[in-house]
Structure 1
Amino acid sequence: MDPLFPALTAARGEALRFGDRSLTYPELASVAGSLALRLRDAGRVAVWATPSLETAVAVVAALLAGVPAVPLNPKSGARELAHIVSDSAPSLVLTEPGAELPPALGGLDRLDVDVRDTTGTPAAAGTEPDDPESPALIVYTSGTTGPPKGAVLPRRAIAATLDALEDAWQWTADDVLVHGLPLFHVHGLILGALGPLRRGGSVRHLGRFTTEGVARELGAGATMLFGVPTMYHRIAEALPDDPELAKALAGARLLVSGSAALPVHDHERIAAATGRRVIERYGMTETLMNTSVRADGEPRAGAVGVPLPGVELRLVDEANDEIAADGPEAVGEIQVRGPNLFTEYLNRPDATASAFAPGGWFRTGDMAVRDADGYVRIVGRKATDLIKSGGYKIGAGEIENALLEHEGVREAAVTGEPDPDLGERIVAWVVPADPQAPPSAEELADHVASGLAPHKRPRVVRYLEALPRNDMGKIMKRSLPGS
Structure 2
Amino acid sequence: MLLSSLNPLAVARGDDLPDAVRIDGRTLSRSDVLGAAGALARRIAGARRVAVLATPSVSTVVAVVGSLLAGVTVVPVPPDSGPAELDHILADSGAQAWLGAAPEGSPLPVVPVRVNARDWHGHPEPDPASIAFVLYTSGTTGAPKGVLLSRRAIAAGLDALAQAWQWTSKDTLVHGLPLFHVHGLILGLLGPLRVGSRLVHTGKPTPRAYAEAGGTLYFGVPTVWSRVTEDEESARALSGARLLVSGSAPLPVPVFERLAALTGLTPVERYGMSETMITLSTRADGERRPGWVGQPVEGVQTRIVGEDGVPVPHDGESIGGLQVRGPMLFDGYLNRPDATAESWTEDGWFVTGDVAAIDPEGFHRIVGRASTDLIKSGGYRIGAGEVETSLLGHPSVREVAVVGVPDDDLGQRIVAFVVGDGVDPDALIAHVASELSVHKRPREIRVVDALPRNAMGKVQKKLLL
- How far has the Cα of 1:360 moved from its partner? 1.3
In 2: Cα distance, 1:11 partner to 1:72 partner: 32
Give the equivalent residue in structure 2 for 1:230: 223
In 2: Cα distance, 1:100 partner to 1:360 partner: 40
Q: Is the 8 A contact 1:8 1:25 kept in 2?
A: no
- How far has the Cα of 1:6 moved from its partner? 6.6
Deviates more, 1:346-355 or 1:28-37: 28-37
Give the equivalent residue in structure 1 for 2:80: 75
In 2: Cα distance, 1:281 partner to 1:450 partner: 30
Indicate yes or no: 2:311 matched with 1:309: no
Q: Which amino acid aligns with 1:101?
A: P
In 1: Cα distance, 2:140 partner to 2:444 partner: 25
Deviation track 1:46-67 (CA, whole Å, cap 9, x = no partner) reads: 1110011111111111111111
Give the equivalent residue in structure 2 for 1:195: 191
TM-score when normalising by structure 2 = 0.96
In 2: Cα distance, 1:19 partner to 1:91 partner: 27
Paired residues for 1:155-304 under 5 Å: 155-218=151-214, 222-239=215-232, 242=233, 245-304=234-293
Give the equivalent residue in structure 1 for 2:120: 121
How big is the alpha-carbon RMSD for the aligned residues of Structure 1 and Structure 2? 1.4
Question: What SS class does the counterpart of residue 345 from structure 1 fall into?
Answer: coil
- How far has the Cα of 1:321 moved from its partner? 2.2
Q: Is the 8 A contact 1:139 1:184 kept in 2?
A: yes
- How far has the Cα of 1:7 moved from its partner? 6.9
Q: Is the 8 A contact 1:399 1:457 kept in 2?
A: yes
Sequence identity percentage: 54
- How far has the Cα of 1:5 moved from its partner? 4.9
Which 5+ residue runs of structure 1 have no aligned equivalent? none
Alignment size in residue pairs: 460
Deviation track 1:452-475 (CA, whole Å, cap 9, x = no partner) reads: 222211111111111111111111
TM-score when normalising by structure 1 = 0.93
Moved over 6 A (4+): none
In 2: Cα distance, 1:71 partner to 1:41 partner: 19
Paired residues for 1:134-173 under 5 Å: 134-173=130-169
Q: 1:469 aligns with which of 440, 453, 460?
A: 453
Indicate yes or no: 2:20 matched with 1:9: no
- How far has the Cα of 1:132 moved from its partner? 2.5
In 1: Cα distance, 2:262 partner to 2:256 partner: 10
Deviation track 1:187-214 (CA, whole Å, cap 9, x = no partner) reads: 0000000000001111110112211110
Q: Which amino acid aligns with 2:125?
A: E
Give the equivalent residue in structure 1 for 2:103: 101
In 1: Cα distance, 2:454 partner to 2:45 partner: 35
Deviation track 1:422-442 (CA, whole Å, cap 9, x = no partner) reads: 22111111112x2xx222x22
Indicate yes or no: 2:80 matched with 1:92: no
- How far has the Cα of 1:100 moved from its partner? 5.7
In 2: Cα distance, 1:55 partner to 1:8 partner: 19
Deviation track 1:107-150 (CA, whole Å, cap 9, x = no partner) reads: 21101211122x321523xx231x32211100000111110000
Q: Is the 8 A contact 2:305 2:312 kept in 1?
A: yes
Q: Is the 8 A contact 1:7 1:199 kept in 2?
A: no
In structure 2, the CA distance between the partners of 1:11 and 1:394, relative to structure 1 (3 Å rule), is farther
Deviation track 1:236-278 (CA, whole Å, cap 9, x = no partner) reads: 1111xx2xx2332111101001000010111111111111111
In 1: Cα distance, 2:94 partner to 2:11 partner: 32
In 1: Cα distance, 2:228 partner to 2:131 partner: 37
Q: Which amino acid aligns with 2:449?
A: E
Question: What SS class does the counterpart of residue 230 from structure 2 fall into?
Answer: helix
Which 5+ residue runs of structure 2 have no aligned equivalent? none
Q: Which amino acid aligns with 1:28?
A: V
In 1: Cα distance, 2:86 partner to 2:402 partner: 31
In 2: Cα distance, 1:284 partner to 1:388 partner: 25
